[in-house]
Structure 1
């Protein structure tokens, strides 16, 4: 059955290879969609670019979370659980696929997909874009082309049915998570569980830093977030003191004093 018209998206053709079961899932914002996928070229050989089954674990995306390859959310939300479908996608939808593929491959290889960005800057950062480190992906990057995605929808979980990691949250959700993480850190600290407490404080700091990147440095909202971050850093330092990791405490507190003379203890 050719269900291309059901998608109502230009440059996408869908063919159902195996029908799913039940009604169309309720793909509300924040739902986690778990699936296997195989990506091939549109050549005679159907050259395989990526295959999650070869990697050994399925892929997942969060609905409404601006996933890097936007068309995948469109494809998945047209499917029933257990369905296997083939999607032909024009080059207008596949231009960023090489960058996504690079990240997925690096995760599968146990590497940090953001490592190149963390350790390079300026001119070197520009040159990093000239190669993705994989010859086939460099070719796709230079000459965007239609691709075929064969997708098997395994499971759809509502936001309340799974533990969401903070990197999956929206900025509003991150801000709501911070006081919860802060309070949990304080509770663990009082129980003498300093390692676990420091992890909660660190997670809260990461949430705030992610939100802070959207604000202009040194303006009112940025400074409010910075104050919250410094409070959490000082809490984190209290954990380090209990673990006798004095050098790192000196580094963190010196940074705070350099940027904000007069900063006082957290709580």
Structure 2
């Protein structure tokens, strides 16, 4: 049963549609909130801009990590687990929403959220003449307006009770997580759980990529990180090959081919190593793993 509308803060109004259970968390820094969100315009048709439930995977927000859309942290702090509520937010709170939405959409599409972004020293005003790649977000960026967020708070996880995502880790935590994720991926691969293994490899790659972005391309540190990324990416491709996701494999292997000029030698090695047990794929030298991927690519019809 819906409750009366209440104020959360200046320019934010809340209406509970489904009550939550238990006590309200203190949401101290490091708490993870897992929720689905629906973003709606304040027009006559209540036009839906985004709906995370349609993408399958809910949003995960770490309290205290300075998320680009601070209003989400503000409204989440007022909710109990299991609660569903609508929040009417003044446009001053949602100016960054088009950028945030773009990143979340690209992540859901399996793309790099940073690709195509340009640095603008003047802030959001200078972005008005730059397309985000989505017409509805371009319009919202040019003409900011009130937004309604319908939030379903699925779970609240206390600090220390979960593994952080790469973006929420310190550099040291990322480096420590990589070998753990690599080993977990290997174990899942041996069990035939290629989808889960791919997720582990992808997470490890994300950790290394975020570290690599801080280095000068081509520098010794950048190259060292790239050499760590390559075998993980090949393992990821091996999983995707077995799942029949050929286009993604083509994309990643093409990017690796641009770095190496030993195609013939690798393909010959692949013909030999195809006879080996794939469960030891991550124990082979990098060229051998790469050659297996190449051999599969040549056989795709």
Please indicate the TM-score interval, normalised by the length of the shorter structure. Answer: 0.5 to 0.7
1:260 matched residue in structure 2: none
Measured at CA, do residues 209 and 4 of structure 1 come closer, stay the same or move farther in structure 2, by a change above 3 Å? farther
SS in structure 2 of the partner of residue 115 of structure 1: coil
Measured at CA, do residues 89 and 233 of structure 1 come closer, stay the same or move farther in structure 2, by a change above 3 Å? closer
**Does 1:245 find its partner at 2:249?**
no
Contact 2:177–2:204 (8 Å) recurs in 1: no
Quote the offset at 1:68 in angstroms: 1.4
1:4 matched residue in structure 2: 6
Q: Give the one of 171, 174, 183 matched to 2:171.
A: 174
Mind listing any 5+ residue stretches in structure 2 that lack a counterpart?
121-125, 183-200, 233-281, 291-301
Measured at CA, do residues 184 and 163 of structure 1 come closer, stay the same or move farther in structure 2, by a change above 3 Å? closer
Quote the offset at 1:32 in angstroms: 1.4
Quote the offset at 1:232 in angstroms: 6.4
Contact 1:20–1:82 (8 Å) recurs in 2: yes
Contact 2:6–2:15 (8 Å) recurs in 1: yes
Q: Deviations over 1:7-62 (max 9, x none)?
A: 2x211011111111111023121121101111111011111111112222211111
Mind listing any 5+ residue stretches in structure 1 that lack a counterpart?
186-197, 218-225, 249-267
Aligned residues: 218
2:103 matched residue in structure 1: 103
1:41 matched residue in structure 2: 41
| Higher RCO (C-alpha 8 Å, min separation 6) | 1
Measure the CA separation in 2 of the matches of 1:111 and 1:203: 12
Q: Deviations over 1:103-132 (max 9, x none)?
A: 222222232222224xx899xxx8896111
SS in structure 2 of the partner of residue 133 of structure 1: coil
Quote the offset at 1:200 in angstroms: 10
Q: TM-score by structure 1 length?
A: 0.65
SS in structure 2 of the partner of residue 159 of structure 1: coil
1:54 matched residue in structure 2: 54
Contact 1:37–1:53 (8 Å) recurs in 2: yes
Runs of 4+ in 1 over 4 A off after TM superposition: 126-129, 179-185, 198-210, 226-242
What is the RMSD of the two structures over their aligned residues, measured on CA atoms? 4.0
Contact 1:81–1:153 (8 Å) recurs in 2: yes
- Aligned positions of 1:90-239 closer than 5 A: 90-117=90-117, 130-169=130-169, 173-178=170-175, 206=209, 208-209=211-212, 212=214
Measure the CA separation in 2 of the matches of 1:147 and 1:131: 20
SS in structure 1 of the partner of residue 160 of structure 2: helix
Contact 1:33–1:155 (8 Å) recurs in 2: yes
